[in-house]
């Protein structure tokens, strides 16, 4: 019987037993934690395979901000994961979704203290850290909880700063003092840090004039290897631009700037400061994102002709002002950047004025423009004009996204015309464009 069993066993054995390790790791890579735990119980080989570094290099840990039995184990499982596999981590993203009360923020703070402490002791591979949208200035974050979290994060960055290449703290909303304290941790025991990508959009609380803070300017002078910097316009000053030129000229490629109506943005930044930075950082491209700042006078103070603007987004968020006109911006301001603009995004309520012709002329003048997205009151034939210009080689768009606002509930007529336009230019659209056009009732 033993001899017979030995002969039969190879034929009955599953093909999984002979699968190469590299293939097995690839299969396990697609599994969630629960399925991986079950797979680890199948056999010794599979159990050992679960400790492969490839499976645990990237991690997103999500904490729910709502009290629920379903999410009760999230905090324990996060700690378990870091203790078990934290040494393999290279990229970590932490999400805390809309905390409901101080009990949950306290639980998050305690969990993060243990998580960061364990990670700081066991890991020397971490290259990327993202903790977004904490909104630490909300009332659910009591002063003691906020201060404890900031201390834990600062202590962790002191230990791991020399390894980190990417740091994203978007939406933290700290005071200037707290924010600078965290960023200074990256250069602890050194005069500079090695971060190449830094996202501090909405990092400071609203209404703070960060541009006037000597502490912030000193903190930013410690960054010497920046490739990409994302921040708010209320951080921009002549001194910051000078620091970036002196310390990051050979590496700096991208600056993303958000300008929100609630952020102070009345500071004077000279065009010569931007021109000097552009000469020093020859590959620099600047992307602007405006939220509810639509008036020409305000935009003209910020969008100086010396700035190498690559991308521009203007969003009014459905707010309408009959005294406001978009026309001067389209005809006088934006053509200044026609040699560098590659992406344009508009979202505004222009129910009181027609802008089809001005938009068409702007698109034709920007010869490098490849992405155009607009949500506005437009004539349906505007889309046909753009497609006709594309067909004739007058523009070179690769993405065209249009939401046409109407003052009627029914959009049957517009939908029919858009279908006719699509049929007419179908060959062009299918071969050249990422295309999305829709009529939308704006009531």
The low-confidence residues of the chain, meaning pLDDT below 50, are 1-12
Pair 179, 35 in one domain: no
Distance CA 86, CA 92 (A): 10
Domain boundary among the residues 6, 29, 55 is at: 55
Under DSSP, the state recorded for 14 is: -
Residue 270 is part of a domain; what is its CATH number?
A: 3.80.10.10
- Contact status, residue 284 vs residue 278, Cβ threshold 8 Å: yes
422 lies in some domain: no
Pair 292, 202 in one domain: yes
Please state the three-class secondary structure of 314-331 as a single string: EECCCCCCCCCCCHHHHH
pLDDT, residue 180, reads 97
Pair 163, 127 in one domain: yes
> ∠ CA 422-425-428 to the nearest 5 degrees?
125
245 lies in some domain: yes
How high is the mean pLDDT of the chain? 91
230 lies in some domain: yes
Q: Token pair 């000193």 is at which residue?
A: 218
Provide the domain count of the chain.
Answer: 2
420 lies in some domain: no
Pair 130, 29 in one domain: no
Pair 155, 294 in one domain: yes
Radius of gyration of the chain (CA): 27
Pair 179, 34 in one domain: no
Pair 25, 133 in one domain: no
Under DSSP, the state recorded for 289 is: E
24 lies in some domain: yes
Closest to 127 in 3D by CA, of 60, 188, 194, 226: 194
Distance CA 90, CA 165 (A): 10
Distance CA 129, CA 199 (A): 11
Residue 32 is part of a domain; what is its CATH number?
A: 1.20.1280.50
> ∠ CA 359-257-234 to the nearest 5 degrees?
120
Closest to 100 in 3D by CA, of 66, 73, 72, 133: 66
Pair 63, 100 in one domain: yes
Domain boundary among the residues 6, 23, 55 is at: 55
Domain, as residue range, for 19:
14-55
User: Distance between the two ends of the chain, CA-based, in angstroms?
Assistant: 82
Q: Token pair 């629960």 is at which residue?
A: 34
Tokens, residue 142 = 């009591």
| SS3 category, 90 | coil
Q: Token pair 């704006």 is at which residue?
A: 442
**Which are the contacts of 396, defined by CB distance < 8 A and separation ≥ 6?**
367, 369, 370, 390
411 lies in some domain: no
432 lies in some domain: no
pTM here is: 0.91
**Which are the contacts of 313, defined by CB distance < 8 A and separation ≥ 6?**
287, 288, 289, 290, 343, 344, 345, 346
Pair 370, 289 in one domain: yes
Q: What is the pLDDT of residues 303-338, one digit of tens each?
A: 999 999 999 999 997 666 778 899 999 999 999 999
**Which are the contacts of 262, defined by CB distance < 8 A and separation ≥ 6?**
206, 207
Closest to 369 in 3D by CA, of 404, 333, 402, 345: 345
Pair 65, 45 in one domain: no
Under DSSP, the state recorded for 201 is: T
Pair 32, 97 in one domain: no
Pair 42, 78 in one domain: no
pLDDT, residue 220, reads 96
């Amino acid at each position: 019987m033993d001899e017979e069993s030995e002969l039969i066993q190879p034929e009955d054995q599953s093909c999984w037993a002979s699968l190469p390790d590299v293939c097995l790791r690839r299969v396990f890579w697609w599994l969630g934690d629960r399925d991986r735990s079950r797979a680890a119980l199948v056999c010794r080989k599979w159990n050992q395979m679960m400790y492969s570094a490839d499976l645990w290099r990237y991690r997103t840990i999500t904490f729910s901000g709502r009290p629920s039995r379903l999410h009760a184990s999230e905090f324990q499982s996060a700690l378990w994961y870091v203790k078990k596999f934290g040494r393999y981590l290279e990229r970590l993203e932490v999400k805390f979704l809309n905390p409901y009360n101080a009990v949950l923020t306290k639980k998050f703070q305690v969990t993060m203290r243990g998580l960061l402490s364990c990670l700081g002791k066991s890991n020397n591979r971490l290259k990327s850290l993202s903790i977004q949208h904490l909104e630490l200035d909300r009332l659910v974050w009591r002063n003691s909880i906020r201060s404890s979290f900031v201390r834990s994060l600062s202590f962790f960055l002191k230990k791991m700063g020399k390894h980190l290449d990417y740091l994203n703290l978007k939406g933290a909303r700290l005071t200037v003092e707290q924010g600078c304290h965290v960023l200074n941790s990256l250069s602890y025991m050194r005069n500079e840090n090695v971060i190449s990508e830094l996202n501090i959009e909405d990092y400071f609380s609203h209404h703070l004039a960060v541009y006037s803070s000597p502490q912030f300017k000193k903190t930013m002078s410690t960054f010497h290897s920046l490739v990409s910097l994302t921040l708010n316009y209320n951080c921009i000053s002549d001194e910051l631009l000078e620091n970036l030129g002196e310390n990051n000229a050979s590496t700096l490629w991208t600056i993303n700037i958000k300008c929100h109506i609630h952020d102070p943005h009345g500071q004077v930044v000279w065009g010569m400061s931007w021109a000097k930075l552009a000469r020093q950082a020859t590959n620099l491209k600047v992307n602007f994102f405006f939220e509810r700042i639509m008036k020409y006078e305000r935009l003209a103070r910020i969008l100086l002709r010396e700035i190498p603007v690559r991308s521009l987004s203007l969003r009014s968020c459905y707010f309408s002002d009959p005294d406001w006109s978009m026309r001067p911006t389209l005809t006088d301001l934006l053509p200044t950047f026609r040699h560098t603009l590659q992406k344009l995004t508009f979202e505004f309520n222009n129910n009181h004025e027609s802008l089809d012709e001005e938009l068409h002329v702007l698109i034709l003048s920007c010869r490098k423009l490849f992405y155009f997205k607009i949500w506005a009151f437009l004539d349906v034939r505007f889309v046909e004009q753009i497609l006709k210009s594309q067909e004739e080689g007058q523009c070179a768009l690769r993405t065209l996204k249009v939401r046409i606002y109407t003052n009627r509930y029914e959009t049957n007529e517009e939908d029919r015309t858009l279908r006719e336009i699509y049929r007419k230019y179908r060959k062009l659209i299918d071969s050249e464009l990422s295309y999305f056009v829709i009529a939308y009732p704006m009531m």
